[in-house]
Amino acid sequence: MSTNIQPLEFNGNWELSPSIESIEHLALKNQYGLFINGKFVNPISKKFFPTINPSNETKIAMIAEAQEKDVNLAVKSARDAYDGYWSKMPSKERSKYIFRIARMIQEKAKELSIIETLDGGKPIRESRDIDIPLAAAHFFYYAGWADKLNYAFPNKNPKSIGVAGQIIPWNFPLMMAAWKIAPALATGNTVVLKPAESTSLTALKLAEIVQEADLPPGVVNIITGPGSTGDLIVNHPGIDKIAFTGSTTVGKSIMKSIAGSSKKSTMELGGKAANIVFEDAPLDQAVEGVINGIYFNQGHVCCAGSRLFIQESVYETFIRKLKDRMQSLILGNPLDKNTDIGAINSNGQLININKYIEIGKKEGAEIFQLNCEIPLKGYWCAPTLFTNVSQSHAIAKEEIFGPVLGVQTFRTSNEVINKANNTPYGLSAGVWTDKGSKVFNLTSKLKAGVVWANTYNKFDPTSPFGGYKESGHGREGGLHGLEAYLNLS
């Protein structure tokens, strides 16, 4: 590889014209209440807060804040629904309801994807092609299991748990709701679900779907609010199980709160995944996987491949390919069908990401960013690449949850296995090599819940997902996802 060759130029010459998804036909209300016992009701406190579009800082709608009395009502309605009919209903009848929800998500896919993009800032390409189809797929998958639980767990006697309290994050709002609600319903539990404060809208649209699907009242309750609403759910004595997806810090505090109680829990927490590229890898496809691993959803992905390990012999080549590919990423209006990188979800998150970028520079890492126009309004962060990163740098150790990639090199398999496992997290990892035996060697030694080989960030409802170590416990998806909502005896 020669170094004095003119770099390739990807910008200018032939630019894409805007191709904006229309929002004129959206059925959005100005104000949303709490979905309790099959109806939208105002919070007892009458308190509402705005949800804003992070790409231009405009208000989209007002969202209800659930406080103690509202949470009590929601839990009571879930309990009544559980005791009254849902737990006794023949499982094939439960299954029909879940199939109905799945079909309705498909029918409303376009509307849901536009709302997801408006409220959360992610590119329409992703909400349209990934978030919403996967949400529907999850309901379809678990609808199929509902009347086959005895076959899923032979020689056991699977029994539902009761009322599940479910708290979900802002990075994949509808998809996370589907991951939580679908298996809980299939196994005969009722739920109280709280979406994240900054992205409540698609969960509330899901509440409308639940209503339209004629699900018995109280089986699904969706209540909105800040972290304090989540605390109320966690500490409520009427809750039998907590399913949480979010940061490790919050996850730890939840575990402290429920310690000593009979509450079961599943935690899907943070990550700092290693994406490992060997010299014999299909390099161009690995570049694509690295891009997809860290810049997908602006890096707001718990399993993001935020630590890139490149074998030293291909380091220069790989970095050049990576920088070339970064140049053709398009940052901008999330509703534009050509946008690759949307807005950062909230101002708070942007501040946090920028803090880490500053730390990275101070630590002596070398920064490379996509050279692009940043919109004047809204929260934005250009895709960022740090080279000369050390294992002891904060940007290599702590979860940034943004489009920031730190690159390190390695020489041997053993070295990279050690480095990859040298983290409190263990959610996911990626391995890139043409050699099958190397893939199997690494997958058996990497302490991570998911290891992708020659691909990254691929999700499927049939495949369990969850972490080692401080990335959490319990699994979502697949057969394992059923187990998390059952007592097996």
Partner 1 sequence: MFNNIKVDKVGIEDRINRITKRSLKSESKLRGLEMILSMIDLTTLEGMDTVKKVEQLCYKATHLHDQIPNLPNVAAVCVYPNMVKTASKALKDSDVLVASVATAFPSGNSTLAIKINDTKEAIEKGANEVDMVISRGKFHSGDYNYVFDEIAAIKDICGEKARLKVILETGELGDYDHIRFASEIAISAGADFIKTSTGKISPAATLPITLVMLEAIKDHYYSTGEMVGMKPAGGISNAKLALHYLMLVKETLGNLWLDKHWFRFGASSLANDVLMQIAKQKTGFYQSNNYFSKD
Residue choice 284, 358, 366, 460 for contact with partner 1 (CB under 8 A): 284
Distance CA 454, CA 286 (A): 7
Look-up of token digits 């639980």: 149
Closest listed residue to residue 306, CA positions, set 315, 318, 296: 296
Token pair in block for residue 349: 């998150």
Determine how many CB atoms are found less than 10 A away from the CB of residue 329.
17
Stretch that binds partner 1, among 138-146, 284-292, 444-452, 464-472 (CB under 8 A): 284-292
Establish whether 268 is a catalytic residue.
Answer: yes
CB 130 to partner 1: min, Å: 12
Tell me how far, at minimum, the Cβ of 462 lies from partner 1, in Å.
18
Sole window of 15-23, 177-185, 257-265, 475-483 interacting with partner 1 (rule: CB under 8 A): 15-23
For position 373 contacting partner 1 by CB under 8 A, the verdict is no
Q: How far apart are the first and last CA of the chain?
A: 62
Query: Identity (one letter) of the amino acid at 109?
Result: A
CA distances (Å), origin 177, targets 168, 185, 455, 457: 7, 12, 25, 19
Q: Which stretch binds partner 1 (CB under 8 A): 58-66, 231-239, 274-282, 350-358?
A: 274-282
The set of residues, in sequence order, having a beta carbon less than 8 Å from that of 309 and lying 6+ positions away, is: 274, 275, 276, 277, 407, 408, 409, 410, 416, 419, 420
* Residue of the chain from 288, 368, 372, 480 that contacts partner 1 (CB under 8 A): 288
Binding of partner 1 by 366 (CB under 8 A): no
- Residue closer to partner 1 by CB (options 339, 428) is 339
Instruction: Report the candidate in 320, 315, 325, 317 with the shortest Cα–Cα distance to residue 289.
Output: 325
Question: Using the rule CB under 8 A, which residue among 110, 337, 445, 447 binds partner 1?
Answer: 337
Does residue number 19 form part of the binding site for partner 1 (CB under 8 A)? yes
Shortest Å distance, C-beta 14 to partner 1: 6
Q: Using CB under 8 A, which of the segments 181-189, 262-270, 317-325, 344-352 binds partner 1? A: 317-325
Near partner 1 in 105-164, by CB under 8 A = 125, 129
Residue (18 or 348) nearer to partner 1, CB:
18
SS3 of the chain: helix, strand, coil, percent, to 5: 40, 20, 40
- 404-410 and 307-311 strand pairing: parallel
Other beta carbons within 10 angstroms of residue 10's beta carbon come to: 12
Q: Residue 283, interface with partner 1 (CB under 8 A)?
A: yes
Instruction: By CB under 8 A, name the one of 289, 293, 449, 467 that touches partner 1.
Output: 289
Shortest distance, CB of residue 296 to partner 1, whole angstroms? 11
Q: Which is nearer to partner 1, 10 or 440 (CB)?
A: 10
489 forms part of the interface with partner 1 (CB under 8 A): no
Q: Which is nearer to partner 1, 372 or 394 (CB)?
A: 372
For residue 332, list its beta bridge partners. Answer: none
5 binds partner 1 (CB under 8 A): yes
**Stretch of 25-33, 152-160, 322-330, 376-384 contacting partner 1, by CB under 8 A:** 322-330
Binding letters toward partner 1, positions 420-459, x by CB under 8 A:
--------------x-------------------xx----
| Alpha-carbon span 353 to 177, nearest angstrom | 25
What is the C-alpha to C-alpha distance for residues 166 and 12, in angstroms, rounded to an integer?
47
Rule CB under 8 A: say whether 313 interacts with partner 1: no
- Rg (C-alpha) for the chain, rounded Å, is 23
* Ranges of H-type helices in 386-486: 394-397, 413-421, 436-445, 478-483
Span interacting with partner 1, options 22-30, 105-113, 286-294, 356-364, rule CB under 8 A: 286-294
Catalytic residue among 302, 303, 476, 483: 302
CA neighbor of 248 nearest in space, from 67, 426, 450, 434 = 426
Backbone angles phi, psi at 7, to 5 degrees: -65, 155
Please give the size of the binding site for partner 1, defined by CB under 8 A: 38
CB-based contact 399:270 (threshold 8 Å): yes
Residue of 12, 154, 237, 260 interacting with partner 1 (CB under 8 A): 12
Q: Is 302 one of the catalytic residues?
A: yes
Annotate each residue in 378-417 with x if it binds partner 1 (CB under 8 A) or - if it does not, as one string. ----------------------------------------
For residue 90, give the amino acid letter.
Answer: P
Binding status of residue 281 toward partner 1 by CB under 8 A: yes
Instruction: For 345-415, list the strands marked E by DSSP.
Output: 366-369, 384-387, 404-410
Helical (H) or strand (E) element with 428: strand 428-432
Alpha-carbon gap, residue 82 to 181, rounded angstroms: 14
Specify the DSSP element, H or E, that contains 244.
Answer: strand 241-245
Site for partner 1 in 338-357 (CB under 8 A): 338
Scanning 16-24, 36-44, 58-66, 155-163 for contacts with partner 1 by CB under 8 A, the matching segment is 16-24
Between 257 and 455, whose beta carbon lies closer to partner 1? 455
Is 22 near partner 1 (CB under 8 A)?
no
Residue 57 vs residues 10, 121, 202: alpha-carbon distances, Å:
31, 10, 18
Residues 6+ apart with CB under 8 A from 377: 55, 56, 57
Nearest-approach distance from CB 308 to partner 1, in angstroms: 16
- Name the site residues for partner 1 (rule: CB under 8 A): 1-2, 4-6, 8-19, 125, 129, 280-286, 288-289, 317, 320, 324, 327-328, 337-338, 434, 454-455
Active-site positions read: 268, 302
